[in-house]
Amino acid sequence: MSTSTMFQDFLSNIQINNAEDISYRYGEITSSLNQKFRDTDSKTANSLQVGSYGRHTGIKGISDLDMLYIMPKSEWENYKGTGGQTKLLNDTKNAIKDRYPKTDIRVDRLVVTVTYTNFHVEVQPVFEEYDDKGQSYFKYPDTYNGGSWKNTKPRQEIAAMTEFVNQKNKNLRKLCKMVRSWKNKHGVGMGGLLIDTLAYNFLKSTNEYDDKSYAYYDWMSRDFFKYLMDQPNRDHYQALGSGQDVKVKKPFQKKAKKAYEACLAAIEADGTDAAYEKWKKVYGRPFPTKPAVTTESARARSWNNTEEFIEDLHPIDVRYEINLDCDISQNGFREHPLSYWLTRKIALKPNKNLKFTAEPINIPHPYTLKWKVLNRGTEAQRRNCIRGQIQLDSGNLQKIENSDFKGEHIVECYIVKNNVVVARNRIDVPIE
């Protein structure tokens, strides 16, 4: 399979597969608000799809959807005073609640969150204004610390994305989608607007891909991650189009460096079966698998492939970080954390106790933690002990394991919120 075909299949695999359901929900919410504030039942008028879905850069598993509802100008007098921000959000919530009385609908500082199975919509009621240049912007309510009105410019962000897509041979949106698959695979806590802004800045910095397409997406991946790893540490960027601040939740350069190195390895393996697995290490399970070939040795395999994949159980939309650490002891005595061994490239010996501890970072409750322990190598196959099943946490955010035999051992953890994986992390444990 050629590079072009691999990346075409990859982008096809991450295409949003529930657009009809999403559009239906947007329409129902819009209709309920139009009935409340305008006495009409239009499912399209006065609302704007924003965020990744509105910029057409979201991928399969997208769970955090954003929508603006544009209020009638005549309603400003009812909400401009003290407490008006809270009143507007509560009135918005109640209007949607009338339509969906059994749905979980909550006010959350800036928005009204409507939670469905597999995704939620954050509805932000806004008043449209125009600056001295005639450009549109929206005033939205913030209930924090007594309440205030803030400004947002999503039309400019959508326009910049659309214009630049046409200038760069439609590569911008495709790069944004590929990067989302990378961040979901490796648990990188980057927001969608930050990803789109960095991809925009990268393609703006080079003419190399102005007339290139899928056949060059291996090089484009390599060069983008090189661009990302070389970024200075910053706490924010200016968003494409609007120029508004986009927060950097956590440094991404270290994981970008690993992705760059993985791209180099995948490009070196071009034309071989190994290329598939090497690109999977960059972009995860959605990247296509090499065509299956049935052989006598495969039919005679003596071990059971019991590995499960979180992508088969839940949509993936990583938005938060989770720390994963491991303490190692023997006969009850702590020796060193796993990082001590890994940084010194010292493999573990068998018969040690390993305690893995997960620490969710600023993830609002409620959520569920799940674990996966996978063994790889000839010894795991000989013992028919691949494992890899995904299991619920016992309640203490810990997983206890033993280093029984040599080989590659992988421990992953996942945070599942509203049936969506919103954080993940992984530790590789070499045992000799």
| pLDDT surpasses 60 at 334 | no
Residue 325's contacts (CB-CB under 8 Å, 6 or more residues apart) are: 337, 338, 339, 356, 357, 359, 427
More confident residue, 346 or 96: 96
Mean pLDDT of 228-249: 95
Residue 6: how many other CB atoms lie within 10 Å: 22
More confident residue, 296 or 85: 85
| pLDDT surpasses 70 at 297 | no
| pLDDT surpasses 80 at 335 | no
Can you tell me whether residue 412 is helix, strand or coil? strand
> What is the reported pLDDT for 352?
73
Domain spans of the chain, in order of start: 19-152, 159-267, 298-431
| pLDDT surpasses 80 at 286 | yes
| pLDDT surpasses 90 at 431 | no
Mean pLDDT of 244-252: 94
For 113, 177, 232, the CA distances from 321, given in Å and listed in that order, are: 21, 20, 20
Q: Do domains 19-152 and 298-431 have the same CATH topology?
A: no
Domain 298-431 of CATH type 2.60.40.10: yes
Give the pLDDT band (50/70/90) at residue 379. Answer: confident
Mean pLDDT of 249-275: 95
Give the pLDDT band (50/70/90) at residue 332. Answer: low
> What is the reported pLDDT for 279?
97
- Which fold does the domain 19-152 belong to in CATH? Beta Polymerase; domain 2 (3.30.460)
pTM above 0.95, yes or no: no
> What is the reported pLDDT for 133?
84
CA 408 to chain centroid, in Å, comes to: 27
> What is the reported pLDDT for 165?
80
Going by C-alpha positions, the residue among 206, 229, 209 that lies closest to residue 220 is: 209
| Structural contact between residues 247 and 219, judged by C-beta atoms closer than 8 angstroms | no
| pLDDT surpasses 90 at 135 | no
| Structural contact between residues 379 and 397, judged by C-beta atoms closer than 8 angstroms | no
Give the pLDDT band (50/70/90) at residue 290. Answer: confident
SS (H, E, C) 11-79: HHHCCCCCHHHHHHHHHHHHHHHHHHHCCCCCCCCCEEEEHHHHHCCCCCCCCEEEEEEECCHHHHHHH
Mean pLDDT of 106-120: 93
Give the pLDDT band (50/70/90) at residue 328. Answer: confident
Average pLDDT, the chain: 90
